[in-house]
Amino acid sequence: MAAIKVLPEYGLVYDSETGKIAPESGTMVKYSMGTVNTGLDKLDKYADDLMNSLAPTGSFLESYPHREKSLYYASIFTNIFYGFIFGLILSFVVVFLHAGGLI
């Protein structure tokens, strides 16, 4: 039977087989939740970083300092670039259609 310490000062453990909190006995296998909590804290940081990436003014976990608006400026230049390319393609299509006599 495996159990997880819930309140060690009162001798209470969570019994994983029954799903109940029970008094601690000497025949139980005990798990420490310290490593699990450390891993959960790391995952929580990464989840917060992922949520911060949705806002263009947020800072990232692994980024250099004072780069809070880097995504904002990158998105402006990306939209300008794609708008320029789309405009050129559309203008060439109109010129070719006009030269071919279709417009």
Query: pLDDT tens digits, residue range 81-96?
Result: 999 999 999 999 999 9
pLDDT per residue as tens digits for the range 57-68: 777 777 788 888
Residue 1 has pLDDT above 70, yes or no: no
Residue 64 is assigned to a structural domain of this protein: no
Sign of CA dihedral 17, 22, 26, 31: positive
Helical (H) or strand (E) element with 6: strand 2-7
Residue 99 is assigned to a structural domain of this protein: yes
Residue 78 is assigned to a structural domain of this protein: yes
pLDDT value at residue 89? 98
Residue 80 is assigned to a structural domain of this protein: yes
Mean pLDDT (the chain, rounded): 84
Residue 82 is assigned to a structural domain of this protein: yes
Q: Are the C-beta atoms of 3 and 22 separated by less than 8 Å?
A: yes
pLDDT value at residue 101? 85
Residue 87 is assigned to a structural domain of this protein: yes
Domain span at residue 75 reads 70-103
